[in-house]
Chains A and B, each alone.
Chain A
């Protein structure tokens, strides 16, 4: 009992500002001055003096999130100590941006340093069948740490090698600056019920960068009729 609970699963040593504890929990080292934006309700434990404020988002972001359905319910964590975050057993991916920009599917955001600029942006080049529809993502820019969630171990595909086509339901994030082209693979025969291939639409990514995909397809729609 003693070994099992107190030794095997004790906190991992302090490392980077954000790190993994196991594959499904993020550990954040909190420092006064640099706050963390985290998905509301994702805190599982903390040590030290940490305050959580439901974030009053910038008005622009609020309106956008209402308009796009890409609303990311965030809270702001301030203080000093260690903060543990998790999101319903999803895998956690921690990364450090070095003046890079990452476009992330909103529900896949777990936490990020608020030194990063962030906003909801429409995915350029993707025009849906009906005008007014579009795909929106949260774009994180600058220098700092980001923790994303992924249902299952994600894969990072290099778009420099070849154009990479991704099922929009499995898309987690991609680097900014990629050329994005929608691709339809639905055939006429898929109009017959039960005759579709189940793969009707993908996004193609091309250029200097990479795409993160998860091994599961979220049922939640990435598309919104408002916009």
Chain B
């Protein structure tokens, strides 16, 4: 005695039959030819193994738990499912049909039935009225959720077989790779019997033109009420952080999330909707994988992986993960302190020590990781963000006849290690092959071994004004070979 299933209905298999050796028959009547196939999907609802895509070209799975039997006894296509032999990694057997020359709405009648021991135990009948213009349909599922269960799905799927395969994480040969198949688990419920909403307006989750439509949600949630006139509202996304997992959260019911503002139309090209959910929107800003001791998180932020200590500019820590301490770093004696007072070039540093990762940034300046590899570099102390504590640092003063009582202070850094230089804006590195002059205030760093002098050709009498530093004029460089000087498009 067959149990009639309606669309969306599901049941443990044991309620229907104690048997596990099933005959599954599918009939589709209507114009066009329909290719009926069975996907063996893993826990993530993905076709992780191509050999579990059973169709006319591959009539059985490796251990023959899924076999294609062909047309017989009134069925357009039939399968034998031996559930006892299905390997543990396969959690769901999804029976689908796809056609190149017909749409699901044209199906005059069809069924999905399970026969055990010559007796029909389950039957789900459908017709084109359940669908619209889809070229693929997911008819029924036999799936494992603590026990084997059966679901009558009857869902249309935009796009054809290739898109269906892609949505199951499969690849289609001889075509360009799928554009990031949307994750499974989306609450995608197409409007049952609705009048042909071709680009299904699942809010915020409309499949990109030509792209794969969202995969069906796991069977336990199939719930489109039969014959209901309106699209079943997709289930709400789980509350915040859970949805932060990269699964596409369902769109909800607000249709305006991508309002098409008519009359102001630039035509939508290249439009790739982002699935809702804060974590999806923010994916581009996520923490970058660690690539070494110093990782460029963005052009304006550096991630330092601790172990060895790092010296950083005071107050430049924006965040950290791990157990990290911050300590004042003395800058070496009274004389230096005096110099700092005089010049404003004091390196006000702190030590970060501990285990973990520190994120450093300062005033949204651009940051550059410089590996010294034993070389020496001169840097304007204002442009140092952080450096390995093992580097040797010396404060230098450049004397100039034109600047009484003053000079240009900078630091000389040398050794094995890394220093992070900050610049306001994109800097420029000028190779020094002849006389080169830079504005003192824009000079960031220069290579060692050059003859440098301060000239005050530009006689702006800045030091007449109270509070102005004695820095005025140009730095003149003379160098050969690989000498360089770095300037920033910003005068401090």
State whether B285 touches A153 (Cβ < 8 A).
yes
Residues of chain B within 8 A (CB-CB) of A185 are 325-326
CA distance A48 to B297 in the complex (A): 39
Q: Which residues of B contact A164 (CB under 8 A)?
A: 319-321
| Structural contact, A96 and B278, CB atoms closer than 8 A | yes
State whether A208 touches B240 (Cβ < 8 A): yes
Q: Give chain B nearest CB distance to A151 CB in angstroms.
A: 5
The interface residues of chain A lying within 8 Å CB-to-CB of B266 are 11-14
Please name all residues of chain B whose beta carbon is closer than 8 Å to the beta carbon of A87 when the two chains form the complex: none
Q: Which chain A residues in 148-164 approach chain B with CB under 8 Å?
A: 151-158, 160-164
B265 contacts A14, C-beta separation under 8 Å: yes
With A15-B271, A152-B364, A163-B321 as given contacts, are A96 and B315 in contact (CB-CB < 8 Å)? no
Q: Are B261 and A31 in touch, CB under 8 angstroms?
A: yes
A99/B252 contact (C-beta < 8 A), A13-B270, A208-B240, A215-B301 known: yes
Q: How many A residues touch B, CB cutoff 8 Å?
A: 75
Which of A37-45, A53-61, A125-133, A196-204 binds B? A196-204
Interface centre among B239, B256, B265 (most CB of A within 10 A): B256
**Is B179 part of the binding interface, using a Cβ–Cβ cutoff of 8 Å?**
no
Q: Does B244 contact A (CB under 8 A)?
A: yes
Determine if B241 is an interface residue (Cβ-Cβ < 8 Å).
yes
Known A14-B266, A143-B252: A100·B361 in contact at CB below 8 Å: no
Distance, CA A47 to CA B241, complexed state (A):
36
A146 to B281, CA, bound (A): 10
Which residues of chain A are near B301, meaning CB under 8 Å?
A: 152-153, 155, 215
Residues of chain B within 8 A of A162, CB atoms compared: 321-322, 356
Write the B343-361 contact mask toward A (1 if CB under 8 angstroms, else 0).
0000010110000100101
With a cutoff of 8 Å between Cβ atoms, the chain A residues found around residue B362 in the complex are 215-217
User: Contact between B244 and A175 (Cβ–Cβ < 8 Å)?
Assistant: yes
Asked if residues A175 and B278 are in contact (CB atoms below 8 Å), the reply is yes
Does A213 lie within 8 Å of B326, measured CB to CB? Answer: no
Instruction: List, in ascending order, chain B residues with CB within 8 A of A29's CB.
Output: 258-261
Contact indicator A197/B326 (Cβ below 8 Å): yes
Q: With an 8 A cutoff between CB atoms, is B299 at the interface?
A: yes
Interface residue ranges of B315-333 to A (CB < 8 Å): 315-322, 324-328
Return chain B residues, CB-CB under 8 Å to A202.
Answer: 319-320
In the complex, whether B336 has a CB less than 8 A from a CB of chain A is no
Asked if B96 CB lies within 8 Å of chain A CBs, one says no
A155–B321 touching, CB < 8 Å: no
What's the minimum C-beta distance from B32 to chain A, rounded to whole angstroms?
Answer: 36
Tell whether B243 is near chain A: CB-to-CB under 8 Å: yes
Query: Is B473 on the interface with A (CB-CB < 8 A)?
Result: no
Contact between A196 and B328 (Cβ–Cβ < 8 Å)? Answer: yes
Question: What A residues does B318 contact at CB under 8 A?
Answer: 155, 166-167, 170, 213-215, 217
From B236, B257, B272, B361, give the contact of A99 (CB < 8 A): B236
CB-based nearest A residue for B357? A162
Task: Please tell me which one of the listed residues A14, A33, A93, A155 contacts residue B319 in the complex, with CB atoms under 8 A apart.
Answer: A155
A75 to B298, CA, bound (A): 32
Q: Which B residues lie within 8 Å of A194 (CB)?
A: 328, 348
- Residue numbers in A under 8 Å from B299 (CB-CB): 153
Q: Determine the chain B residues whose CB is within 8 A of the CB of A47 once the complex forms.
A: 264
A178 and B264 CA atoms in complex are apart in Å by 41
Complex Cα distance, B53 from A36, in Å, reads 48
Provide the bound-state CA to CA distance between A177 and B321, in Å. Answer: 19
Cβ–Cβ contact A212 & B326, under 8 A: no
Give chain B's interface secondary structure class. loop
The answer to the question of A102 belonging to the interface, with a C-beta cut-off of 8 Å to chain B, is yes
**Does B250 belong to the interface (CB within 8 Å)?**
yes
Within 8 A of B (CB), among A183-203: 185, 187, 189-190, 194-199, 202
Is residue A120 contacting chain B, with contact meaning CB distance below 8 A?
no
**Residue in B256, B279, B315 whose CB lies within 8 Å of A217:** B315
B372 within 8 A of partner (CB): no
A residues near B239, Cβ cutoff 8 Å: 99-101, 177
The residue that B285 contacts in the complex, of A80, A82, A96, A155, with Cβ under 8 A, is: A155
Instruction: Give per-residue flags for A55-82: 1 if the beta carbon is below 8 A from chain B beta carbons, else 0.
Output: 0000000000000000000000000111
The reply on A51 being an interface residue by CB < 8 A is: no
Q: Judging by beta carbons under 8 Å apart, are B241 and A160 in contact?
A: yes
Which residues of A are found within 8 Å of B274, using beta-carbon distances?
16, 96
Q: Cα distance A41–B447 when bound, in Å? A: 46
Q: Answer yes or no: A225 CB below 8 A from chain B CBs.
A: no
Nearest-neighbour CB distance to chain B for A142, whole angstroms, equals 9
Q: Is the CB of B271 within 8 A of A199?
A: no
A216 CA / B362 CA spacing, docked (Å): 5
A106 contacts the other chain (CB 8 A): no
B261 touches A208 (CB 8 A): no
Contacts of B350 in A (CB 8 A): 197-199
Find chain B residues with CB under 8 A from A48 CB.
Answer: 261, 263-264
B268:A96 contact, CB within 8 angstroms = no
A190, B242: Cα distance in complex, Å: 41
A-chain residues with CB within 8 Å of residue B324 when the two chains form the complex: 165
Q: Please indicate the chain B residues that have their CB under 8 angstroms from the CB of A196 in the complex.
A: 314, 328
Known: A16-B204, A157-B321, A208-B240. A93 touches B285 (CB 8 A): yes
Cβ-closest chain A residue relative to B346: A194
| Nearest opposing residue in chain A for B266, CB measure | A13
A209 partner residues in chain B, CB cutoff 8 A: 240-241, 244
Contact in complex: B287, A208 (CB < 8 Å): no
Closest CB-CB distance, B71 to chain A, in whole Å? 45
B276 touches A98 (CB 8 A): yes
Apart from A12-B266, A170-B319: 20 A-B pairs, beta carbons within 8 A: A14-B261, A17-B257, A80-B263, A98-B252, A144-B257, A152-B298, A153-B298, A153-B299, A155-B287, A155-B297, A155-B319, A160-B241, A165-B321, A177-B241, A187-B327, A195-B328, A197-B350, A198-B326, A199-B317, A210-B282
A-B complex: 7 closest residue pairs judged by Cβ atoms: A152-B364, A208-B241, A215-B361, A198-B314, A95-B281, A198-B315, A170-B318
Between-chain CB contacts (< 8 Å), 6 pairs: A102-B240, A165-B321, A166-B319, A170-B318, A199-B350, A213-B318
> Which residues of A line the B interface, CB within 8 A?
11-17, 29-31, 33-34, 47-48, 80-82, 93-102, 115, 143-146, 151-158, 160-167, 170, 175-178, 185, 187, 189-190, 194-199, 202, 207-217
